[in-house]
Structure formats: C-alpha cells, structure tokens
Structure 1
Amino acid sequence: MESLAQLEALCERLYNSQDATERAHAENTLKCFSVNSDYISQCQYILDNALTPYALMLASSSLLKQVTAHGLSLQLRLDIRNYLITYLATRGPDLPSFITTSLIQLFCRITKFGWFDDDRFREALKDSMNFLNQVTCYQFSQHTLLNLSHNMITFP
C-alpha cells in the first residue's frame, strides 16, 4: 500500500462495490492485514489516522481475525488490549456505532482468550468502567460493552 488514501479507497470498494470482481480484488489486496501478524501495527496506524469508517472497519475486523486465529504472544495481546482501552476512551465517542461495537467485540475477544494467561486480562471490567467514567461517553458504549462482555465470556 503506497498511501493511506489508497487503502481507504480500496476499503470503500471492499465494502461498497456492486462489482464482484472489483470487490474480490480489494479483498485479496487487503487480506494481508488479517492473516499476517506483521500487519498488526499497520492496523493500529489505520485506526489512529484513517478518515473513513471503511478503513476503520478493516483495521478492527483484521485485528479481530488476528487475535482469534493466531497464537499471538502474551505481550502483544496485552499491548493490543491496552491500546484498545486508550483508543476507545479517546476516540470512542466520536466513532460510528458499528465501529465502536466492532472494537468492543475485539476487546472482549482478546480478554476472553487471555483470561487464564495473565491476571491483567481479568481487570477488563474495572479498566473499561474507569475509561467510561472518565469520558462523557454515551450510554450505547456502556450498554454495548457490558452486553458483549457478557456474551463473549458466557458463550463459546
């Protein structure tokens, strides 16, 4: 990818194109973000700098696939978890609800998978409530966070 603008254009084609060939090309080009752990830092860069919700959705869904499919190191999972807490606290209220929901799902998934690996993952509810209390966050985020947390922990 040469620029963030090109990536955002590809993401828009991935999610909006009516042409199956164009959509398949975009999917194949962007697949690297969800299958190669070397792209995790690029996903964070996209979250920090992208202007379109399509690029944000690509980054969030790619991180979710990475966390689910790959045996990421404990430190990397903790880094992603901590990044998400900070990101949701600072950017969450300004994001479209479907992006917030996707990021909260990622936070819940990484918490669930790390629950028995390190005690810091067990502090998820306390940490998330701390950031929700610090920012003027809308009720949707609080409700979504608690609901997804419950579902991720309860169901396989």
Structure 2
Amino acid sequence: MDQSQLAEVERLCQALYTGNNSALRAEAQQQLLTLQSSIDFIPQCQFILDNSQLPYAQLVATSSLEALVTQFWNSFSPEQKLDVRNYVLRYLGNNAAVLQEFVVGHMTKLSCRITKLGWFDSPEHREIVDEIRKFLEASVDHSLIGLKLLNALVDEMNTPTTGRSLTVHRKTAVSFRDQTLLQIFEITVITLRNLQNPNREK
C-alpha cells in the first residue's frame, strides 16, 4: 500500500461512516471488506494504522485485523500470532493520548482475542498481564488503557468465539480463571486506588 491507496481507503471510510447516500455507503463497505479476505492484507492494515490519522480508517484496519485473526488463526505461525499481538500493544502504547475511544475499544478487543486464541499455543500469551502492567505503571492515559485491556480480557475469556468449539472455550476460560483472574482483580484495585490518590503507596 502507498499514500494514494491510503487516501482512497480514507475516502471509503468517510463515505461509510459519515456519508448520507446509502448506495455509496454500501459500496464503500463492500470495498473495505476486501481487507478481511486474506491474511495477505495484514501489512496493509498495519500500514493504515501506521500512517492514517483518521479514526474511521483506524477502526476499519483494527476490525479487519480482528476478522483476519479470528477467521485464519490456524494459518498464522506462532511467531506471527505474537507479532500481531505485540504490534497492537505497541500501537496502543505509542498513541495512548490521541486515540479515539471507539478505536481503543476495538484494539483492546483485538489484543485480547489473540491472547484467548493463543492461550495454549505459547507461554507468552499467558503472560499478557505482565504486558498490561507496563501500561498501568506509565502515564494516566496509559493506565486507563491498561484498565480497559484488563476489562476486555475478562470479557473476551468469558465469551465464546464463533467457529471455536465450546470445549476449547471452556478449557481456556477455566485455565484463565485459575491462573490469572485473581491477579487481574488485585492489580485493578491497586491501580484504581493509585489513580484516585497518586501519592498513595503502592
């Protein structure tokens, strides 16, 4: 993808989310759905995130990554799975102060979806709370995103994913509950106390 293609994506996003013409909105949506058709579009989604300041384009790129990860999970190598998760966390960290709320919501969901699907693939996925802790120990903006990540993680782990067996879902949810849930509760309480009183001892 280059800058001219990015400009076209942004035009389609504007047409989809702000346009008044239903036919043009439907056409824009159809063209943007191409980004969800193959894992070959992952670099394009990342290019959009890296280069666009348009929140609707960031939303489309994030939603497309979530669809790609969910639909083509078994086509990813273990390294690719972690790379995408770490990319999303870095993006959140680098842009904590400027992202729109609805973009943050989709990005936290994406990182937690990857964590859930990869829970038994490698230990790094089960160490997600250590990654989130870095947000909680940074600025207020980062801490708020860290809390949203923890909330999204609990929600994701308790929600079955279309196309995945309930047996796998239950096994993942039980493992998450036993290994991680108490830790999340404890650090959430501490973080909220520190946000209310920054001088409070941790």
- TM-score of the superposition, structure 2-length normalised? 0.72
For residues 18-33 of structure 1, the aligned pairs below 5 Å read 18-33=20-35
| Stretches of 4+ aligned residues off by more than 4 angstroms | none
Verify: 1:66 aligned to 2:68, yes or no: yes
Q: Report the RMSD for the aligned CA atoms in angstroms.
A: 1.6
Q: Deviations over 1:46-92 (max 9, x none)?
A: 11110110100000000010111112222211110111121111112
- Aligned residue for 1:92, secondary structure, equals coil
Residue in 1 aligned with 2:44?
42
**How far is the alpha carbon of 1:93 from its aligned partner?**
2.2
RCO higher in 1 or 2 (8 Å CA, sep ≥ 6)? 1
Confirm or deny: 8 A CA contact 1:104 1:144 kept in the other structure: yes
**How far is the alpha carbon of 1:15 from its aligned partner?**
1.6
Equivalent position to 2:114, from 110, 114, 118: 110
Of structures 1 and 2, the larger Rg is shown by 2
Query: Gaps (5+ residues) in structure 2?
Result: 161-202
Query: Gaps (5+ residues) in structure 1?
Result: none
Measure, in 2, the Cα distance between the counterparts of 1:113 and 1:41. 21
**How far is the alpha carbon of 1:139 from its aligned partner?**
5.0
Measure, in 1, the Cα distance between the counterparts of 2:94 and 2:149. 15
Letter of the 1:67 partner, please give it. V
- TM-score of the superposition, structure 1-length normalised? 0.92
- Aligned residue for 1:110, secondary structure, equals helix
- The share of aligned pairs that are identical, in percent, is 37
- Change in Cα spacing, 1:96 to 1:15, as seen in structure 2 (3 Å) is same
